[in-house]
């Protein structure tokens, strides 16, 4: 039995990395998936094509998750095509590690506009389309626990996600809408590659300190998203699942 049969999921930032793996896994578990992207149309179309080829249902919808009008339009389109929304995965995120002396309003805004305001906006716009029993999953990070150097702005934005996850679990509980978070450790994605993280000693240092001896891959994260999206986690809200090979 597919664990997300008959459910409709919106996955933000699903053109690449962790979001793309979650979109593919959700579709394999029977969900109809909205593959959100900002600029990588071709990559989003490839994720959709793979899902359709495998017999699943998906559409790609462009929306900058920092823009209220575009976010509202994306949920309206999702509801128009698939009838409603059952699952929201707030995954789109930015990470630009910089030392404290490089703090600028732009660095702060880039992180908080997408990683915090964008998550709140998506939840605000998703909830009216959700039936009681929906599931919201926010992508946090283990940086809030191990606090790497030069990550203060990014880590602050992920700490905010932990806080809003708890608060909205309380607020939306009466409607039986669950709000949980996932904290991945370092996962080898397009974003991590483009950011050059693995070209410094950052990757080897994390790997050496990881009990399971390797960095993550996107498919290490997707099964936890399936669990939190499915009815198997029906009594779980305001919680965080950490997936980091044992690294803290
Ligand atoms: N990778 C890691 O080690 C790691 C660890 C812990 C937590 N995380 C978190 O996991 C999430 C995904 O990380 P990742 O490494 O898979 O990311 P990634 O490879 O950099 O991909 C980022 C995704 O977000 C989308 N995106 C960027 N800006 C957007 C915007 N304004 N509106 C809508 N979509 C936007 C991108 O779409 P376009 O390409 O179309 O712009 C892309 O699909 C992030 O929240 C990140 O903080 C990652």
Domains, the chain, with CATH or none: 8-243 (3.40.50.720)
From 90, 181, 182, select the one nearest 127 (Cα to Cα).
Answer: 90
Query: Measured in angstroms, how far is the CA atom of residue 91 from the centroid of ligand 1?
Result: 6
What integer is the mean pLDDT of 96-100? 97
What integer is the mean pLDDT of 21-36? 98
pLDDT mean across residues, the chain = 97
Q: Is 128's pLDDT higher than 90?
A: yes
- Ligand 1 in reach of 139 Cβ (< 6 A): yes
First CA to last CA distance, the chain: 35
Phi, psi of 179 (to 5 degrees): -130, 115
Q: Is 1's pLDDT higher than 90?
A: no
Query: Measured in angstroms, how far is the CA atom of residue 1 from the centroid of ligand 1?
Result: 30
Q: Which of 63, 64, 93 has most ligand 1 atoms within 8 Å of its beta carbon, as the pocket-test mutant?
A: 93
Q: Which residue has the tokens 């009838």?
A: 83
What integer is the mean pLDDT of 151-174? 98
What integer is the mean pLDDT of 172-182? 98
Prediction pTM value = 0.98
Please tell me the predicted confidence (pLDDT) of residue 213.
97
Q: Is 66's pLDDT higher than 90?
A: yes
- Ligand 1 in reach of 245 Cβ (< 6 A): no
Per-residue pLDDT tens for 35-60? 999 999 999 999 999 999 999 999 99
Question: Are the C-beta atoms of residues 122 and 65 closer than 8 Å to each other?
Answer: yes
Q: Which of 10, 11, 12, 13 has most ligand 1 atoms within 8 Å of its beta carbon, as the pocket-test mutant?
A: 13
Strand partners, 183: 242
Please tell me the predicted confidence (pLDDT) of residue 135.
98
Residue closest by Cα to atom 47 of ligand 1: 93
Query: Measured in angstroms, how far is the CA atom of residue 174 from the centroid of ligand 1?
Result: 31
Q: Which of 146, 191, 244 has most ligand 1 atoms within 8 Å of its beta carbon, as the pocket-test mutant?
A: 191
Helices 17-28 and 218-229 pack at an angle, to 10 degrees, of 50
What lies within 8 Å, CB to CB, of 234 at 6+ separation is 133, 178
Per-residue pLDDT tens for 199-243? 899 999 999 999 999 999 999 999 999 999 999 999 999 999 999
Please tell me the predicted confidence (pLDDT) of residue 173.
98
Please tell me the predicted confidence (pLDDT) of residue 124.
98
More confident: 149 or 248: 149
Question: Are the C-beta atoms of residues 25 and 50 closer than 8 Å to each other?
Answer: no
- Ligand 1 in reach of 190 Cβ (< 6 A): yes
Looking from the CA of residue 40, the nearest atom of ligand 1 is 40
Count CB neighbours of 102 within 10 A: 11
For residues 153 and 221, what is the distance between their CA atoms, to the nearest angstrom?
Answer: 23
Strand partners, 36: 61
Q: Which long-range contacts (CB under 8 A, 24 or more apart) does 101-105 make?
A: 103/152, 103/153
Q: Is 164's pLDDT higher than 90?
A: yes
């Amino acid at each position: 039995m597919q664990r997300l049969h008959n459910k409709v999921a919106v996955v933000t930032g699903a053109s690449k990395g962790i979001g793309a793996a979650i979109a593919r896994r959700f579709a394999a578990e029977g969900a109809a998936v909205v593959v959100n992207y900002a600029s990588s149309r071709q990559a989003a179309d490839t994720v959709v094509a793979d899902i359709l080829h495998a017999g699943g249902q998906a559409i790609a919808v462009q929306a900058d998750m920092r823009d209220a009008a575009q976010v509202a339009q994306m949920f309206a389109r999702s509801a128009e095509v698939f009838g409603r929304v059952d699952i929201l995965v707030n995954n789109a995120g930015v990470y630009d590690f910089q030392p404290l002396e490089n703090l600028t309003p732009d660095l702060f805004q880039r992180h908080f506009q997408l990683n915090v305001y964008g998550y709140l906006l998506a939840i605000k716009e998703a909830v009216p389309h959700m039936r009681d029993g929906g599931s919201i999953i926010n992508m946090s990070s283990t940086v809030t626990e191990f606090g790497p150097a030069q990550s203060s702005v990014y880590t602050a934005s992920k700490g905010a996600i932990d806080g809003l996850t708890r608060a909205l679990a309380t607020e939306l509980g009466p409607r039986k809408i669950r709000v949980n978070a996932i904290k991945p450790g370092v996962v080898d994605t397009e974003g991590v590659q483009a950011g050059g993280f693995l070209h410094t000693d950052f990757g080897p240092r994390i790997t050496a300190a990881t009990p399971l001896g390797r960095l993550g891959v996107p498919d290490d994260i997707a099964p936890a998203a399936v669990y939190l999206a499915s009815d198997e986690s029906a009594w779980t809200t305001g919680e965080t699942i950490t997936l980091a090979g044992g690294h803290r």
